[in-house]
Amino acid sequence: MANFLIESYCHKCGVIGESRLAWAGPHIKQSCDNCGAYIKFYDKAKLPDVREIKIKIFGLAERNLEKIQYWKNQIKFVEGLSGIDEKLEYYKLYKHGAKDNKIF
């Protein structure tokens, strides 16, 4: 079973999986990554620290910095962000890496 960073359970399709997070006005909206159904507004304080997300990415890439750069290029990763925007960008990179490795 996958070790999800931000797990969600979808009331619509029943999938348990990694969440899709996105800005929705001043809130962070958590949606099902399978069907896109809205789940809830996600507490910004519960977002993993950038360092924690980077550690997960490093593990997914098996310490291969070229692989991480490849993933960044694929998702058009935005450098230089801070705060919640930086967390969401790294979370997006983490999800892409996990999908590329077929973790979930």
Using CA atoms, how far residue 47 sits from 11, 14, 19, 87, in Å, is 22, 23, 12, 7
pLDDT, position 64 = 96
pLDDT at residue 14 above 60? yes
Task: Compute the distance between CA of residue 22 and CA of residue 58 in angstroms, rounded to an integer.
Answer: 23
For residue 49, with 0-12 CB atoms within 10 Å meaning exposed, 13-18 middle and 19 or more buried, which class applies?
Answer: exposed
Provide the domain limits for residue 18.
7-100
Indicate whether 45 belongs to any domain: yes
pLDDT, position 70 = 97
Q: Tens digit of pLDDT for each residue in 35-81?
A: 999 999 999 999 999 999 999 999 999 999 999 999 999 999 999 99
- Per-residue confidence band for 1, with pLDDT thresholds at 50, 70 and 90: very low
Indicate whether 40 belongs to any domain: yes
pLDDT, position 103 = 75
| Domain total in the chain | 1
pLDDT at residue 101 above 60? yes
Mean pLDDT over residues 10-26, rounded? 95
Indicate whether 1 belongs to any domain: no
Indicate whether 37 belongs to any domain: yes
Q: What is the pTM of this model?
A: 0.91
